[in-house]
Amino acid sequence: MAKKQDDRISNVSHGKKNNKDYAKVNGGVFVFTKSITVGDLAKQLNINVADIIKKLFLKGKMVTINQYLDDETIGELCLEYGYDFKKEEIVNEEDFEKLNIEDDPKDLVERAPVVTIMGHVDHGKTTLIDAIRNSNVAAGEFGGISQAIGAYQKEIHGKKVTFIDTPGHEAFSAMRMRGASVTDIVVLVVAADDGVMPQTIEAIDHAKAAGVPIIVAVNKMDAPSADPERVINQLMQYDIIAEKYGGDNIVCLISAKKKQGIEELLDAIIVQAEMAELKANPKRYAIGTVLEANLDKGEGPKATLLVQNGTLNSNDYIVVGTAYGKVRRMTNEHNQVLKVAAPSTPVSVIGLSEVPSAGDKFMAFPTEKQARDIASKRSLKKLEEERALNNGITSLDDLYGKIQEGNMIQINIVLKADSTGSADAVKSSLEKLNSDQVKIKVIRAAAGAITESDILLAGASNALIYGFNVRPSAQVRKKAEEEKIEIHLHRIIYALIEEVQNAINGLEKKEEVENVLGQAEVRNIFKVSKVGTVAGCYVTDGIFKRDALCRVLRDGAIVYEGKLESLKRFKDDVKTVAQGFECGIKVENFNDIHEGDIIENYELIEKE
């Protein structure tokens, strides 16, 4: 169905330059985008062409009416005829991050401030968000520690404020950097009983690099050992100086747990936002940033977007990094469906062609064809950049020997994980293993299943593939064997890091490795009373053994791991089922099987 016309400005047109508008005079300034002929310059400046030729002749330059002028000569002529000059860079549609679109001041309206909560792990950032939202997010997080960026909107004194909560764990540095890059105000949470810690300093550095104001929230004032003056003095070492000592930083003493001092903090945020006079243009197509993305087990690629300018509508066509799609559904943090998202609104969207990377820019476009074409060009450009990194090793077994030869070794790694947060954390931990002899370069870190595209990239770049909480399909595994690409699969981050570290150190140890026996596709679901869910399957690869282990995969991500409870051919119990045959499978203690799931059969064998 064709998209209905709307009255939003097409920001893409600002990125196009045709032959008619590569040069123009704008308010006494001659603006050009490429070389221009003598004749065209004369026409634009409304000067006789013979005068320009004569003037250049007197400078020792022989030119004709159709001769192109260099930038320096254009600048000299403009100044001599009383014009200023400016050369603008042509930005293609596919490089929309570089587009600098000037909004008409009449279209600008006040927008909500984006406030990022930052600080060290376990200093109470998410508890503070809970206190502001009157929710209980922290209780649902693993260990009470944020594992991903959370974005929420709250109305305070009649004005909306967007809050972003970033993880404080050291492995999530890239997430904190993204949080700082999209924010208007940083609230730095420091525990009154703990003081300034490593991630506190890192958060300060990110906020300063982004050039945004910092409000300090000294939390845990209810703790017996709370010492706010010590915290304020420590912060002075990093040029964070409280207002009462003559500085610019507002300091609020709070207890997120007891909900004390929250109103004063919110008042400080509103005051800081009013001073900034934040505005945006809701009459244009949306542009913004991906805060987090993952492969949802039921809904496919899913992304949390922050709309920074323009208006994002349900059913808009968007390009996100190298992905594109139609916004099939858009929800807020309460999982309520939205039709429209104004500037500064965080939303979760589904409908993308693939999982984008956190930190990617997104932009809405008028038509699906335009979005698809731009995404295709961006994808091709990214692949070419990744393939340029082509000097790695192809096997961990070869690594230690090459190190002993005294050569500097680069290990190229293609990393796929179940979410972008996990991918960032694993990438950061791997790159910390760099030494004088070994450099680890993660050439792709993304969320989603391991695909043939990853195999092709690894082959072109001599890279290893690591999967964290994701699995390849049988077809992808065969492709990897044909291309002689190693795929290493892990579910624990420390085991993955330890494997690479052991390979670098030349350590050998006995370990259990997986031997995948086969895969079966779930084609029917049968609910059997007193038994549970039985999956009617077709063995697509290898064989199935009754006494082997199994795992359930959905969109390449692991949903469950366990054992087979029963394996049947028609009504008979069997020990094995070969490729090309149908069978009934009951997974032990698991009934949430869907049509289209893949059940993988494997065994563990000991290997040095």
Position 123 scores a pLDDT of 87
Q: Residue 391: is its pLDDT beyond 80? A: no
> Pairing relation of β-strands 185-191 and 114-119?
parallel
Please, which pLDDT band fits residue 532 given cuts at 50, 70 and 90?
confident
Q: Among residues 476, 508, 540, which one ends one of the domains? A: 508
Burial of 522 (0-12, 13-18, 19+ CB in 10 A): buried
Indicate whether 176 and 255 sit together in one domain: yes
Position 214 scores a pLDDT of 93
Please, which pLDDT band fits residue 389 given cuts at 50, 70 and 90?
very low
- CATH number of the domain bearing residue 502: 3.40.50.10050
Q: Residue 430: is its pLDDT beyond 90? A: no
Please, which pLDDT band fits residue 506 given cuts at 50, 70 and 90?
low
Residue of higher predicted confidence among 4 and 366: 366
**Is 435 domain-assigned?**
yes
539-581 tens-digit pLDDT: 998 999 988 899 998 888 888 888 898 999 988 889 999 999 9
Q: Residue 166: is its pLDDT beyond 80? A: no
CA–centroid distance for 581 within its chain? 41
* Phi and psi at residue 197, to the nearest 5°: -125, 175
Q: Residue 94: is its pLDDT beyond 70? A: no
Indicate whether 168 and 261 sit together in one domain: yes
Position 504 scores a pLDDT of 74
**Is 374 domain-assigned?**
no
Please, which pLDDT band fits residue 390 given cuts at 50, 70 and 90?
very low
Q: Tell me if residue 515 falls in helix, strand or coil.
A: strand
Residue of higher predicted confidence among 438 and 496: 496
Indicate whether 121 and 268 sit together in one domain: yes
Indicate whether 497 and 544 sit together in one domain: no
Residue range 280-293: mean pLDDT, rounded: 88
CA distance 534 to 573: 13
- CATH number of the domain bearing residue 141: 3.40.50.300
**Is 156 domain-assigned?**
yes
Indicate whether 420 and 525 sit together in one domain: no
Indicate whether 135 and 248 sit together in one domain: yes
User: What percentage of the chain reaches a pLDDT higher than 90?
Assistant: 28
Contact 256, 130 (CB under 8 A): yes
302-314 tens-digit pLDDT: 888 999 999 999 9
**Is 12 domain-assigned?**
no
Q: Which residues contact 115 (CB under 8 A, 6 or more apart)?
A: 161, 162, 163, 164, 183, 184, 185, 186, 187, 269
Please, which pLDDT band fits residue 203 given cuts at 50, 70 and 90?
confident
Q: Which of 177-181, 183-187, 327-331, 582-586 has the lowest mean pLDDT?
A: 177-181
Indicate whether 393 and 486 sit together in one domain: yes
Residue of higher predicted confidence among 315 and 145: 315
Q: Which domain holds residue 140?
A: 112-278
Q: Residue 199: is its pLDDT beyond 60? A: yes
Position 145 scores a pLDDT of 30
**Is 80 domain-assigned?**
yes
213-239 tens-digit pLDDT: 999 999 999 999 999 999 999 999 999
**Is 378 domain-assigned?**
no
**Is 9 domain-assigned?**
no
Indicate whether 254 and 128 sit together in one domain: yes
Q: Among residues 488, 508, 528, which one ends one of the domains? A: 508
Contact 424, 430 (CB under 8 A): no
Indicate whether 124 and 214 sit together in one domain: yes
73-90 tens-digit pLDDT: 888 898 888 888 887 655
- What per-residue string of b and e applies to 57-75 under the rule 16 or more CB within 10 Å gives b? eeeeeebeeeeebeeebbb
Residue 486: closest CA among 395, 398, 400: 395
- CATH number of the domain bearing residue 518: 2.40.30.10
- The DSSP symbol for 244 reads G
Round the average pLDDT of the chain to a whole number and report it.
81
CA distance 407 to 209: 37
Indicate whether 160 and 219 sit together in one domain: yes
3-state secondary structure 427-444: HHHHHCCCCCCEEEEEEE
Residue range 313-339: mean pLDDT, rounded: 90
Contact 220, 226 (CB under 8 A): yes
Total domains in the chain come to 5
Q: Among residues 453, 488, 508, which one ends one of the domains? A: 508
Tokens of 184: 């208007």
Please, which pLDDT band fits residue 494 given cuts at 50, 70 and 90?
confident
Indicate whether 213 and 355 sit together in one domain: no
9-68 tens-digit pLDDT: 555 443 333 334 556 776 778 888 777 888 988 888 888 999 999 988 888 888 888 888
452-471 tens-digit pLDDT: 878 877 887 778 899 988 88
Tokens of 409: 């070794």
CA distance 343 to 284: 10
Q: Residue 597: is its pLDDT beyond 80? A: yes
Indicate whether 210 and 150 sit together in one domain: yes
In degrees, rounded to 5, the angle at the alpha carbon of residue 88 between the alpha carbons of residues 83 and 93 is 150
Position 68 scores a pLDDT of 83
Contact 187, 162 (CB under 8 A): no
139-160 tens-digit pLDDT: 333 333 333 346 788 888 888 8
Tokens of 189: 């949470």
